Amino acid sequence: MDGGAVRRDTGGASSPSGRRREREREQMRNLLLDTARGIAAEQGWQAVTIRRIADRIEYTSPVIYQYFSGKDALVSEVMCIGFRDITDRIEATMAEPVDSRLAALATAFWSFAFGAPELYQAMNGQAGVSFDGADMPPEVSRGFMVFHAVLESIAAEQGRRLRDPAAAVHTMWAYLHGFVALAMSGRVAGGAEQGERYMLASLQPLFDAQLA
């Protein structure tokens, strides 16, 4: 064996240059996603185009297509980011006492929506990309599963059960989303703070109606 031989960096994924390229690629993907979110936060998702993203980061459009096949693919990734975030927040409410867990769940949902409205809008089809059962990303499925688990935990600790788990999840999620959507569009007299109070006031009776 030639002890003086120099090991060449072939550029594979496990080589230093390969790892560097992977980091750079991930950084660029994050930059594109953050830029799209920034434009959406300022002007709405209808203003987000591949050309505008490219102009803002001072690249050409073809560079972006190396990372995303188009706006729909980019928005789908943003949607998944949103579902990962809201799922983590919902899951954290499992640590709350049972008598305040339902309100904590609703507050986590509300806080996420108003803390990152561009994410929330992308998650709910307002960016032009929606999903159905066949194409539902795993992040979306997990979000609903964790939401269901929190509702089940509240019922179980009260010695009850959800009469129809799927209906309960859809009913409670739709209720929260309805108040968020109305408040976000300025259609609640008194503004978002009043909208949150209305939401919390009728939350428990609606949940109780789902129990057997």
**H-type alpha helices, the chain:** 16-43, 50-57, 61-64, 71-92, 98-115, 117-123, 138-157, 165-184, 191-201, 203-208
Per residue in 125-176, pLDDT (tens digit) is 877 777 766 678 899 999 999 999 999 999 999 999 999 999 999 999 999 9
Inter-helix orientation angle 50-57/71-92, to 10°: 80
Comparing C-alpha atoms, which of 65, 67, 56, 60 is closest to residue 27? 67
Helices vs. strands in the chain: H and E counts, helices first: 10, 0
Q: What is the pTM of this model?
A: 0.86
Q: Cα separations (Å) of 144 from 56, 72, 106, 171? A: 35, 22, 14, 12
How many other C-beta atoms can be found within 10 angstroms of the C-beta atom of residue 168? 22
Q: Which CATH superfamily is domain 10-68 in?
A: Homeodomain-like (1.10.10.60)
Domain positions in the chain are 10-68, 72-208
| pLDDT over 70 (residue 54) | yes
Tokens of residue 190, six digits: 């008194």
CA–CA separation, 140 and 152 (whole Å):
19
Q: Which CATH number fits domain 72-208: 3.40.50.300, 1.10.1740.10, 2.40.40.20, 1.10.357.10?
A: 1.10.357.10
At residue 16, the pLDDT reads 79
Task: For the chain, state the CA radius of gyration.
Answer: 22
φ, ψ of residue 202 to 5 degrees: the values are -105, 5
| pLDDT over 90 (residue 110) | yes
Comparing C-alpha atoms, which of 114, 128, 169 is closest to residue 146? 169
